[in-house]
Amino acid sequence: MRPLRTVAVLPTLITLGNGFCGFLAVSKIADALAAEADSGAVDTQKLLTAGYLIFLAMVFDAFDGFVARLTKTSTDFGGQLDSLCDAVSFGLAPAFLAKVLMEHGNSEGIREIHPKLALLLTAPFVLCAILRLARFNVQLEHEDEAHDAFQGLPTPAAAGMLVALCLLFLDAEVARLLPFDSKFLVYALMPLCPALAFLMVGKLHYVHFVSKLTRGRRSMQHLVGLIGLVVVFAFYPELFLAVGLAVYTLSGPVLAVAEKASGRRLMDRPPEDFELSPEEEALLDLDPEGWELAYLGLGSNVGNRAALIRRAIEMIEQEPEVRVGTVSDFFETRSLGGPPQRNFLNAVIAIETTLSPGALLDRLQEVEALLGRRRLVRWGPRTVDIDILLYGERVVETPRLVVPHPRLGERGFVLEPLSEIAPDLAHPLTGQTIGEMYQEARDAGRLEESLRRIRHELSLTRTGHPSRSEPKRTP
């Protein structure tokens, strides 16, 4: 068992604030039920407070990750803690609130719903929220692509949708603005709970709404539109949240139908989801004609880094359809992104292969797994990481694999060793040689130089394997 010696104080406290709001919301709902014994009616004000506390938990949930990234203290511990708090705030609390309204709405002239039926309708929401969070933790780390979308409705959005309807019903002043009797909102909770549960664990895709609205540079009209939304929210927060979250919840099914009708993708997929179109599958499965030259990048910052890279090369070489040729020196580099961690050792190798790009990727991921690679924290420590940098002159763009590597020209720990063994190799898209790309990136100050260069017995030319020829460099 690996001991946990330190924790990031500020992000942890913010995450615990999320959990505390969830617990306090459950307490308020219980207090509202207790008031029924004295007055004969559920305390509506306490239920309102519980709903607002769940939305306050969302504020804490939004800021803990932001603060962790800002202070460079993102850890696996923080991710697991966040999910535990989310299970309370966005699973248990909203389902409990909906269950209470279903069972005790008769005081507002609504037909009473049997407690067992209310439990049957709300329990899937809690369980699916937990499943959704567990799946997200498993899929969290993927170092090659920053995801701006989710597979399945995010739990905070599902909780917000449920709570927003509850608040509309509970707030009498806002309920007057509705074009229908507010009691129908309670009836709407009955199909909504299982529907949201299904959407959380389903395969529909949802954009990262906050990221899409706020990331990057945008036009003045975009800014004015955001200000307008804030103003509307200030006047009618419950109505704004209900309508906005309803639109977001429906966006997944609507996009899926639109994509099926148009036959093309309208939204980038999250990197953890590798559902490919027939064309993309054919592109990945297309075998080369004979032996194809490819270049792989290897990195390690856990355990005996050099030994792990050597072992990875040996395991790659054991594949009958792969010939390992030129091997670069090892370069020690600082980690980029993710939590504080040990420096990396990086290397690049040239191979020849008769495997298709997809099959080669499968073999490399098997090597990673056999050497103990675990995908827990995005950009986190890893025993060994193997990327396909170039595969002949092929250009592959799929959710699962992009070749040439999309950030080949931005990474010194790739360009430096690659320029050592293949300086005259031409990039399939730009036509620049690797040596030119490396020099240009250095001159522009875009690369972080390696800390040291380590020569080893595998450098440059493989020996002792007469049956394996060294791949030739191609212009």
**Active-site residue, selected from the candidate residues 132, 269, 373, 462:** 373
Residue 81: inside a domain: yes
Tell me: pLDDT of 254 over 80. Answer: yes
Q: Which of 262, 297, 329 is the last residue of a domain?
A: 262
Residue 408: inside a domain: yes
Q: Clarify whether residues 352 and 256 are in a common domain.
A: no
Contacts of 286 (CB under 8 A, 6+ apart): 356, 357
Give phi and psi for 196, each to the nearest 5: -65, -40
Whether 82 sits among the annotated catalytic residues: the reply is: no
* Angstrom distance (rounded) from CA 377 to CA 29: 35
Q: Which of 204, 238, 262 is the last residue of a domain?
A: 262
For 259-267, what is the mean pLDDT?
65
Whether 373 sits among the annotated catalytic residues: the reply is: yes
Give phi and psi for 334, each to the nearest 5: -75, 150
Whether 385 sits among the annotated catalytic residues: the reply is: yes
Q: Clarify whether residues 102 and 155 are in a common domain.
A: yes
For 181-207, what is the mean pLDDT?
87
Q: What is the rounded average pLDDT for all residues in the chain?
A: 80
445 vs 26 pLDDT, higher one: 26
C-alpha 63: how far from chain center: 16
Tell me: pLDDT of 348 over 80. Answer: yes
Query: What is the residue range of 143's domain?
Result: 9-262
Q: Clarify whether residues 236 and 320 are in a common domain.
A: no
Q: Which of 262, 295, 315 is the last residue of a domain?
A: 262
Q: Clarify whether residues 238 and 318 are in a common domain.
A: no
Report pTM. Answer: 0.60
Residue 270: inside a domain: no
Residue 219, domain CATH: 1.20.120.1760
How would residue 104 be classed by pLDDT, with cut points 50, 70 and 90? confident
Contact 94, 165 (CB under 8 A): no
**Active-site residue, selected from the candidate residues 387, 400, 411, 462:** 387
Q: Clarify whether residues 215 and 296 are in a common domain.
A: no
Q: How many domains does the chain have?
A: 2
Q: Clarify whether residues 184 and 285 are in a common domain.
A: no
For 375-402, what is the mean pLDDT?
76
Whether omega for the bond prior to residue 288 falls within 30 degrees of 0, making it cis, is no
Q: Clarify whether residues 239 and 328 are in a common domain.
A: no
**Active-site residue, selected from the candidate residues 305, 382, 400, 411:** 382
Whether 311 sits among the annotated catalytic residues: the reply is: no
Residue 441, domain CATH: 3.30.70.560
Residue 254: inside a domain: yes
Q: Clarify whether residues 233 and 347 are in a common domain.
A: no
Closest CA to 415 of 269, 279, 256, 295: 295
**Active-site residue, selected from the candidate residues 385, 400, 411, 462:** 385
Please state which of the ranges 184-188, 241-245, 333-337, 454-458 shows the lowest mean pLDDT.
333-337
Residue 100: inside a domain: yes
Q: Clarify whether residues 76 and 225 are in a common domain.
A: yes
Predicted pLDDT at 50: 95
Q: Clarify whether residues 13 and 111 are in a common domain.
A: yes
Residue 16: inside a domain: yes
Q: Clarify whether residues 90 and 33 are in a common domain.
A: yes
Tell me: pLDDT of 89 over 90. Answer: yes
Predicted pLDDT at 139: 57
Residue 374: inside a domain: yes
* Angstrom distance (rounded) from CA 202 to CA 37: 40
Contact 315, 384 (CB under 8 A): no
Q: What percent of the chain is predicted at pLDDT more than 90?
A: 31
Q: Clarify whether residues 116 and 145 are in a common domain.
A: yes
Residue 346: inside a domain: yes
